[in-house]
Amino acid sequence: MNMTRWITTIRERLQRPAPPPETRRIGLALSGGGGKGAAHIGVLQVIQELDIPIDLIVGTSAGGAVAVLYAAGFDLAAIQDVFRQSALRRIATPDPTGTGIIGQRRREEMLYRLLGDRTFADLNLPCAVVATDLVSGETVVLNEGPVVPALLATTALPALFPPVPYGDMLLADGGILNNLPVDVAYELGAQRVIAVDLRDAQAGFSLQPEENDSLLARFMFAPKQFAVAQRALSLLMAEATELRLQQHPPDVLIQPDVASIHTLDLSTPEKGYAIGLEAARELAGELIDLRLWRNGTQLAVQPQPRRARKIERKRSVMIGSNRLPARSRPEAAGTV
């Protein structure tokens, strides 16, 4: 089990000699996002339409679920149906451990019905999912052993689902520390990476009920408390993702505008699918460049400016004076 402790920059990668075509590998990295993760399915549709070869796939949380299902050979319509089956109203049971609001039993039963005892070695292409060890505080990359426990771990959103015991670790949603695992794709051997980023931190925030609020979120627990916690976590994850993207830039960054989809709404994946489809088609030229590189038609993909909806760092808002009182300023010390 590998811990993520690596830093790679696009400049370092481009300075390396281009590998021969038969060893070139394209990786796909899918971010977390709950119900927003259906956008990944639309992106995969475009990747298939453009005949982009994917040599390995990695994901966090909802992105990890899509990654495993795709690597297991599920077609895109079937993956959409898994989203519908995962709607909270279908899987909700009390958590007997008291560490989550919803227990894992029905989710686990559903995943075993779909995937059985498959291991990562049984999948059709190399695949990894990312989780967070609450004991050590480290990111954990799961790419061996049975896939169902790994999926339960990578999607265990804190407070909503209980963490998953895994050896001497206690695993929760990978998005806590690494919501878009581009670095993992490089570590597993990809020379070029397509990343799908589902951040929506620029969206506004309100405590008023919204149309896309999950019905279950309204009656099962205090929705306003959950909304505040979810917003705080999304802001932290967005900032962390931006810093990671600066350290590990992908070659193509796709950012579907998923702000209108509630994180807990898995019942209407067709909406996310359409958004992902549109976002990926806008970058069809860059995706085709990767295919040409992979097939040896071009020597290398030249780095392009990332068309990112960058999460701008905002200046702190100062409430009141922006100067310390005279008695608190260092230069005022010792004065009468």
User: 0.95 exceeded by the pTM?
Assistant: no
Phi/psi of residue 311, nearest 5 degrees? -80, 105
Phi/psi of residue 174, nearest 5 degrees? -65, -20
Distances 167 to 171, 178, 208, 303 between C-alpha atoms, Å: 10, 21, 42, 41
Instruction: Give the chain as a 3 state SS string.
Output: CEECCCCCCHHHHHHCCCCCHHHCCEEEEECCCHHHHHHHHHHHHHHHHCCCCCCEEEEECHHHHHHHHHHCCCCHHHHHHHHHHCCHHHHCCECCCCCCCECCHHHHHHHHHHHCCCEHHHCCCCEEEEEEECCCCEEEEECCCEHHHHHHHHCCCCCCCCCEEECCEEEEEHHHCCCCCHHHHHHCCCCEEEEECCCCCCCCCCCCCCCCCCHHHHHHCCHHHHHHHHHHHHHHHHHHHHHHHHHCCCCEEECCCCCCCCCCCCCCHHHHHHHHHHHHHHCHHHHHHHHHHHCCCCCCCCCCCCCCCCCCCCCCCCCCCCCCCHHHCHHHCCCC
Tokens 């300075």 locate to 15
pLDDT of res. 224: 67
Contact by Cβ (8 Å): 279, 39: yes
Q: What angle do CA 271, 228, 217 make, to 5 degrees?
A: 55
Q: Per residue in 166-212, pLDDT tens? A: 999 999 999 999 999 999 999 999 999 999 999 864 454 444 554 43
Domain coordinates in residue numbering, the chain:
22-332
pLDDT of res. 37: 94
Contact by Cβ (8 Å): 54, 125: yes
Distances 70 to 28, 48, 77, 97, 128 between C-alpha atoms, Å: 11, 12, 11, 31, 12
pLDDT of res. 161: 87
Q: What angle do CA 250, 54, 60 make, to 5 degrees?
A: 60
Q: Per residue in 140-174, pLDDT tens? A: 999 999 999 999 999 998 878 889 999 999 999 99
Terminal Cα-to-Cα distance of the chain (whole angstroms): 63
Going by C-alpha positions, the residue among 266, 308, 301, 300 that lies closest to residue 285 is 301
Residues of the chain with pLDDT under 70: 1-22, 88-89, 92, 95-96, 98-100, 200-227, 298-336
Catalytic residues: 61, 173
Contact by Cβ (8 Å): 31, 60: yes
Q: Which two tokens stand for residue 265?
A: 């709404």
pLDDT of res. 104: 78
Superfamily of 22-332 according to CATH: Cytosolic phospholipase A2 catalytic domain (3.40.1090.10)
Tokens 């009141």 locate to 320
Phi/psi of residue 147, nearest 5 degrees? -85, -30
